[in-house]
A and B are shown apart, each in its own frame.
Chain A
Amino acid sequence: EPEVTQTPSHQVTQMGQEVILRCVPISNHLYFYWYRQILGQKVEFLVSFYNNEISEKSEIFDDQFSVERPDGSNFTLKIRSTKLEDSAMYFCASSAEGYTDTQYFGPGTRLTVL
């Protein structure tokens, strides 16, 4: 069964460093998403991406964040200058269609900012 994959599973970085989280969505999907879950808190939406552009972003997704689909398979989330409060589990998701369709989630990348 097709699945969303994410790398790395765990990333440790120093405050102020740039990190890139990578995701490979399911191959025929058209909609891509990033969510995050700070330990003990809700899963929060960060950004949605369709047709090579951002379709929606949350207030969390400020200028420090960016997303890219550099080729036909990868979908990346970049944090330019990490802060302590960026420590969280980051989930990538993809769906074939829009709001009625299931979003399939990857296993997540745990980001720890020291």
Chain B
Amino acid sequence: AQSVTQLGSHVSVSEGALVLLRCNYSSSVPPYLFWYVQYPNQGLQLLLKYTSAATLVKGINGFEAEFKKSETSFHLTKPSAHMSDAAEYFCAVSDVERGNKLVFGAGTILRVKS
């Protein structure tokens, strides 16, 4: 069965600093991976997804993620944090054997300090 682990429930960075949010997955089949962002009191918005094309995936708002099969990782990065990036970020894997459901990690709350 597919699973996702996000290391670090809270990450704090200074404005302009590199953002790195970690995600490791477990999957018995080639995975389809997603990063979603949740702003306070809002729903989940897709940042980017990996579906077995290029291993480096670019998303919205300057975020990107690299799929590394050898490390079973799909870490999210952004070169320069902005105050508006403060939100909760969820990594998810699509469970293709179970009705296409998304299996989410526990989430990482990103705080951006001025």
- Our verdict on whether A and B bind, yes or no, reads yes
Identity of the chain B residue whose Cβ is nearest the Cβ of A106 in the assembled complex: B43
CA distance A33 to B100 in the complex (A): 9
Question: For the complex, would chain B's binding face be called helix, strand, loop or mixed by DSSP majority?
Answer: strand
Binary flags per residue of B30-47, CB closer than 8 Å to A gives 1, else 0: 001010100000111110
Q: Which residues of A contact B98 (CB under 8 A)?
A: 56
Stretch at the interface among B14-22, B72-80, B102-110: B102-110
Q: Which residues of B contact A33 (CB under 8 A)?
A: 100-102
Give how many A-B residue pairs fall within 8 Å (CB-CB).
63
Do A102 and B99 have beta carbons less than 8 Å apart?
no
Q: Which residues of B contact A43 (CB under 8 A)?
A: 44, 90, 92, 102, 104, 107
Q: Which residues of B contact A95 (CB under 8 A)?
A: 100
CA distance A109 to B3 in the complex (A): 26
Identity of the chain B residue whose Cβ is nearest the Cβ of A57 in the assembled complex: B99
CA distance A50 to B105 in the complex (A): 25
Q: Which residues of A contact B90 (CB under 8 A)?
A: 43
Q: Which of B32, B49, B99, B106 contacts A55, CB < 8 Å?
A: B99
Q: Residue B12 at the A interface, CB < 8 A?
A: no
A36 to chain B, nearest CB (A): 11
Name the interface size band of chain A.
Answer: 20 to 34
Q: Which residues of B contact A56 (CB under 8 A)?
A: 98-101
Q: Which of B44, B46, B96, B104 contacts A99, CB < 8 Å?
A: B96
19 example contacts (A-B, Cβ-Cβ < 8 A) are as follows A4-B43, A35-B102, A42-B104, A43-B90, A43-B102, A43-B104, A48-B100, A48-B101, A56-B99, A57-B99, A98-B96, A99-B32, A99-B94, A99-B95, A100-B94, A103-B46, A104-B46, A105-B45, A107-B42
14 further contact pairs, Cβ within 8 A, besides A4-B43, A31-B100, A55-B100: A43-B44, A43-B92, A48-B99, A55-B99, A56-B100, A58-B101, A91-B43, A99-B32, A102-B49, A103-B102, A104-B46, A105-B36, A105-B43, A105-B45
